[in-house]
Structures are given as C-alpha cells and as structure tokens.
Amino acid sequence: MRRLWLIFSQAATVALAVLFVINTLKPQWLLRDGRPLTEVVALNTAPPLPAPGASAVPAGGASAVPVMFTGYQSAARAAAPAVVSVTASKAGARNPHAQDPSFRFFFGERAPETQVGFGSGVIVSAQGILLTNNHVIAGASEIEVRLSDGREARAEVVGTDPETDLAVLRITLDKLPAITLGNMQALQVGDVVLAIGNPFNVGQTVTSGIVSALGRQGLGLSTFESFVQTDAAINPGNSGGALVDVRGHLVGINTAIFSRSGGSMGIGFAIPVDVAQQVMEGLLRDGQVTRGWIGVEPRDLTPEFAENFHLPIKDGVLITGVLQDGPASKGGLKPGDVVVSVGGQQVSNTAQLLHSVAALKPGNTATIGVQRGAQALQLSLTIAQRPKQTVRPR
C-alpha cells in the first residue's frame, strides 16, 4: 500500500510539473471549448491602438474607440514650431583706462568685448510678429532669431514695455508658424501646462507641470504683476518662451523663476496671454502702451494704521504722497486719504489700485472713492497718461 501511494504522489508531481511547463511555454495548447482558459475569468484590458492612418471610429457610426494616453505630444507639436531662440548682442563696457597711454603701451588697443545673451520668443502672427521679454533684448544692438526648422533672421524691435517686461519684435520670413492665443478665462489652478523655450541655450526644450496659482502679485519683478505660477521647469534661457495648455494654445510668456541655486525649483512665473496681447496691440498701434495715471504714492493699508486713526474700514490703499499739480492733487486727493474704489470698483491693495487706474483712458473723468478719517468722499479726477518708465534692472 505504501508503495502504491508513493507511485501516485510521484505521478501527480510529474503531471503538475508538465502542466506548469506547458502553461508557460505553450498556453495555446490548454483550451476549453475552443477558448483559452484565461477567458473564463473577467480581465480589464486596454483596447488595441488603431493602426497608423486607420480611423478610430468603428463602422456603423458607433462611438470612437478609446485609445491609450500618449502624453502631450499633440500640444507640443502644435506649439513648438512657433517658439524661437533669441540671441541678443550688445557692446561691452569700455575699460576706463583705455585712453591712458601707459595702459595702451602695456596692454595694446583692446576693443570692448561683445556681450551675448540668450532667451526665447513666440511667433504670434504669420506676418512676423514675436513676443518676448523686455529684459531679454534690453540694450541689445543686434537681435538674431532662430526658428525650430533651422531658419535664422535678424529681428527689429517694434516696441518695449518695461512695466510688464514685454517686448514686441518683427522678422521678415515666409511661411511662418504662428501660435494660437489661449483663453485666460478658461485657465484654472491644477490645469496641465507645458513650458517651451531654449534653456541654457541647449536648444528647444519642452517641460510639463500644472498651474500652481493665478494672479500672483507682489513679487517685485515688474510694475504691473498678475503672473501665472507654474511648476513646469523654467530655467535661464526660457525667458520669453511659451507657456501653453494641453491644446497647444498660448496662455503665458515665461518671464522669471524663484530660485536659490539659479536653476528651476518648481516655482516659475509667466505673464498672462491677455496682458501680453493688450501690450502687443498698444505697441503695434501706437508705439507705446497707453495707461491711466493720477500721480500718487500709494501703500497698502495696515490694520495698525486703521486702528490708530480710528478708520471705519479695513481694506483700501493709503495715499502717502500726492504729486503737486497732478491729477490727484487737482481733484482734491490728500496724503493720509485711503482710496477704497476706482470707478465703482473696490480696491484692497496697491496692485489693484495700479491696475484699476492704468485701465482708465487718459483724458476721461473717473470717480475715486476715498475714506478721509470718519468721512467717506467721492472725488472726481481727470485721468492723465502714465509717464514712460525707464528699464527696470533684472
């Protein structure tokens, strides 16, 4: 009996081993009613991808067959041809001792070395109009643009706006690709975005991330700030490049990063496309951006100030100085007043006041809501045109 049991156990072991080998090497031999055994249980499997050039819609008008997610290649493919590399050259500073005969005797005649800076730009019109950052081309005597298809052209400056750090360039080439401008109203925190540019002059590079914040202000990067913040990798050389959504539509012009090392740390900032479009249209139409101005020195209202002066408000902009014979002075605004509204729109901080006044048309009259101590006033001011500002150092 013991011998029979030993033979049975050995045979069962050999049979299981053979079954395992067959299932591993030739699973098609193991059929049940003409079907593989794996079809007996339910499995979640992805549908096959359609063949290249084949339609993903089955015959008979059925709904489209879902395909595997393949990244954001369509967005990159749509936007990348319109993103260019910008090389700005400027003459270096002459040595202050260059005219000294002794210096020239020992060191000879030395011409100032040419300084070269690299950045990016975005073609927004097939007529050769480009957007980039003002700090990319500021002070440049020669600007060269290189397209992703290898073509090169010299660019001329149409106009600059240091207060938003934007510049408009023009090149003359045929069959230029132009990016599609996106809709800022549809952009939300958490949306996926791509940053396209020429970081460190290594060539066109695409990085991805999300929108981390909208309307970011108070960074000290420019006068008028309302940045799109993103964690898409932005590095030196990306300035002036494109921030696009998943459709490849332009939603921002990459302009700056927050970094302790000089490289990307996941906090980058882009100028919203609606601001860039407004600046571009002003520069193309008038050669400058027309903004309203009232001639005041503002600062944010602090809770301490409101409490010390027994103000019945908590939000507003404290006026610390008024330009003599300026629009605000002529309209009756005084130092110590707190501006609470412009044209019926509430303002809570300095950035909002600057944007609200800048949006007013010079020559028009606007009503300014003011809190003067315990008294609420409505002052009528004639808006002037904002004086042209000098280039801000970066």
If DSSP states are collapsed to H, E and C, what string results for the chain?
CHHHHHHHHHHHHHHHHHHHHHHHHCHHHCEECCEEHHHHCCCCCCCCCCCCCCCCCCCCCCCCCCCCCCCCHHHHHHHHHHEEEEEEEEECCCCCCCCCHHHHHHHCCCCCCEEEEEEEEEEEECCCEEEEEHHHHCCCCEEEEECCCCCEEECEEEEEECCCCEEEEECCCCCCCCCCECCHHHCCCCCEEEEEECHHHCCCEEEEEEEEEEEECCCCCCCCCCEEEECCCCCCCCCCCEEECCCCCEEEEEEEECCCCCCCCCCEEEEEHHHHHHHHHHHHHHCCCCCEECCEEEEECCHHHHHHCCCCCCCCEEEEEECCCCHHHHHCCCCCCEEEEECCEECCCHHHHHHHHHCCCCCCEEEEEEEECCEEEEEEEECEECCCCCCCCC
Query: What does DSSP say about strands 384-385 and 250-257: parallel, antiparallel, or unpaired?
Result: unpaired
> What are the tokens at 85?
């590399």
> What are the tokens at 262?
């000089």
> What are the tokens at 123?
């073609």
Residue 100 annotated as catalytic: no
User: Which one of the listed residues 85, 120, 135, 222 is annotated catalytic?
Assistant: 135
Residue 310 annotated as catalytic: no
CA dist 106 and 96 (Å) reads: 15
CA dist 176 and 174 (Å) reads: 6
Residue 148 annotated as catalytic: no
User: Which one of the listed residues 85, 212, 239, 356 is annotated catalytic?
Assistant: 239
User: Which one of the listed residues 85, 120, 161, 165 is annotated catalytic?
Assistant: 165
CA dist 259 and 235 (Å) reads: 9
Tokens 């202000």 belong to which residue?
Answer: 217
Question: What residues are labeled active site?
Answer: 135, 165, 239
